[in-house]
């Protein structure tokens, strides 16, 4: 196993030299990564196909393309993000000037997951580089081909003192978490997120935790069912449902359930053909453990669409379940697979009150052609982020923060939000030489009237 103490010490020494701080250097590092991605596009797409069975189109749409967009965004704006920001100064401090100065945290650890193994490794790395940090990157062992491809990419682009890749499994994760990093960025399950946070607490290391949860989708009575079925099916079955912000389940007015389920079935056939298991556009489940877990969840309720699987290819048909109760196993955990329970409600206000009692999810989606009900849901329910009349695509906008709340995570990524996540915002006040002695003792004879006006 790598000597992680030496690795971290080497990065800290390099960071302390000031080599990563100039914005020109940060931009050069981002350009190196951009050029490396272009040179290795074919190898990266092949690795994603090997690990997850992704078509080249889906792999580019959800991984490579999003990374490139993030790089373009950072290269255009990093100079502005890194610039000190002037803020107002109270009259009591006259004459003075106040600034907020972003500075890099230092040596960062990025622990990435297997479901989007390229995007969810490189997007936080882009934020770290833009902020001026060094980074130790640990891809998931569950996506070994992509882990190797990412290691080859980053080793070709960067000195290990700047960006280092560690491959391996749980033993390597545990050993890395014993080290003293200046910042930790983790993407994965809530259970492992607790472990990461506990490890970080030993050194009082700040963390960003991008976790998950059961993200609901709500259909209002006035929703466009054709549009909703199409966009929900796309968001749910993308990457075979192995998406942290996938619609986990759908709440539908009881009288619309059958019509909506029928339209979901039509959308599935339109996307994946009459035999989805043979479709080149249907990815596979990451491993046997998760394949078996998902097959067990399919026993909940009644199968209305799909329900088939192929254990040799680890593919599961896009599946819609009805007659599901919240006591069923499929509603007891984040599904993270191509299984969509459809639940019904009679009372909209009652549904919202019920959802407010649930853990706060990473995402929430509302479909409505009106404004009142949709706004009521979006502004009274607490969740990480979401969409009105669509699913998932909010995370493709680099101007929006992405992250969870409560059990679905903490911290933000993408664009300037990611830059700030890897930065300490240092407050500075520059006081000029003109000195007003009223603050100094002795205070006898000084009235409070002027002081109250200044403060």
Q: Residue 314 in 3-state DSSP?
A: coil
Q: Can you give the C-alpha Rg of the chain in angstroms?
A: 25
Residues 37, 68: Cα–Cα separation, whole Å: 8
Phi-psi region of 323 (alpha: psi -120 to 50; beta: other; left: phi over 0): left
Omega of the bond prior to 442 within 30 degrees of 0, cis? yes
Backbone phi and psi for residue 208, each to the nearest 5 degrees, phi listed first: -120, 130
105: tokens are 């945290």
Q: What is residue 424's three-state secondary structure?
A: strand
Order across the sheet with 216-219: list the strands.
Answer: 302-305, 319-322, 339-345, 249-253, 216-219, 363-367, 385-388
Cα 411 from Cα 99, distance rounded (Å): 23
Residues 132 and 26 sit within 8 Å (Cβ to Cβ): yes
- 244 noted as active-site residue: yes
Q: Active-site residue 155, yes or no?
A: no
Pairing of strands 216-219, 363-367: parallel
The residue annotated as part of the active site, out of 179, 210, 334, 416, is 210
Cα(123)–Cα(139) distance, rounded to whole angstroms? Answer: 13
DSSP string, 137-205: EE--TTSHHHHHHHHHHHHHHS-TTTEEE---SHHHHHHHHTS--SEEEEES-HHHHHHHHHHHHTTT-
- Which position among 133, 244, 387, 413 bears the catalytic label? 244
Specify the DSSP class assigned to residue 413.
Answer: B
Q: 142-167 burial, b for 16+ CB within 10 Å, e for fewer?
A: bbbbbbbbbbbbbeebbeebbbbbbb
413: Cβ contacts below 8 Å, ≥ 6 apart? 123, 124, 127, 185, 208, 210, 401, 402, 403, 421
Instruction: Dig out the tokens for 6 from the structure.
Output: 């030496």
Q: So which residues are the catalytic ones?
A: 210, 244
């Amino acid at each position: 196993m790598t000597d992680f103490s030496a690795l971290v010490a080497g990065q800290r020494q390099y960071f302390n030299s000031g080599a990563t701080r100039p914005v020109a250097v940060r931009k050069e590092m981002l350009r190196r990564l951009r050029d490396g991605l272009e040179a290795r596009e074919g190898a990266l797409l092949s690795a994603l196909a090997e690990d997850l069975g992704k078509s080249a189109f889906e792999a580019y749409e959800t991984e490579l393309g999003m990374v490139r967009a993030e790089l373009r965004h950072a290269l255009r704006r990093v100079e502005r993000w890194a610039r000190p920001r002037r803020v107002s100064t109270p009259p009591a401090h006259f004459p003075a000037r106040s600034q907020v100065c972003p500075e890099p945290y230092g040596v960062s650890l990025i622990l990435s997951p297997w479901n989007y193994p390229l995007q969810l490794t490189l997007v936080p790395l882009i934020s770290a580089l833009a902020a001026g940090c060094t980074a130790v990157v640990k891809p998931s062992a569950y996506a070994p081909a992509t882990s190797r491809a990412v290691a080859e990419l980053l080793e070709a682009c960067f000195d290990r003192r700047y960006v280092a890749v560690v491959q391996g499994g749980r033993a390597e994760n545990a050993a890395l978490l014993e080290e003293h990093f200046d910042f930790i960025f983790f993407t994965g399950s809530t259970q492992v997120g607790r472990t990461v946070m506990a490890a970080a607490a030993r050194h009082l290391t700040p963390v960003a935790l991008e976790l998950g949860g059961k993200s609901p989708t709500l259909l209002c009575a006035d929703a466009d069912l054709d549009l909703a079925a199409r966009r929900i099916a796309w968001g749910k079955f993308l990457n075979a449902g192995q998406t942290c912000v996938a619609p986990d389940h759908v709440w539908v007015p009881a009288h619309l359930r059958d019509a909506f389920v029928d339209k979901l079935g039509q959308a599935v056939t339109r996307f994946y053909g009459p035999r989805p298991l043979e479709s080149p556009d249907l990815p596979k489940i990451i491993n046997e453990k998760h394949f078996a877990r998902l097959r067990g969840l399919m026993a909940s309720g009644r199968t209305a669409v799909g329900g088939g699987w192929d254990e040799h290819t680890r593919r599961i048909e896009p599946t819609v379940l009805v007659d599901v109760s919240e006591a069923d196993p499929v509603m007891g955990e984040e599904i993270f697979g191509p299984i969509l329970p459809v639940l019904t409600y009679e009372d909209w206000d009652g549904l919202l009150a019920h959802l407010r009692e649930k853990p706060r999810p990473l995402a929430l989606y509302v479909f409505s052609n009106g404004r009142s009900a949709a706004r009521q849901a979006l502004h009274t329910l607490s969740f990480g982020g979401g969409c009105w009349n669509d699913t998932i695509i909010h995370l493709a906008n680099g101007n929006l923060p992405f992250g969870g709340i409560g059990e679905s995570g903490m911290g933000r990524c993408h664009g300037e939000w990611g830059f700030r996540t890897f930065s300490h915002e240092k407050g500075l006040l520059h006081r000029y030489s003109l000195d007003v002695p009223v603050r100094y003792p002795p205070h006898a004879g000084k009235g409070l009237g002027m002081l109250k006006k200044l403060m």
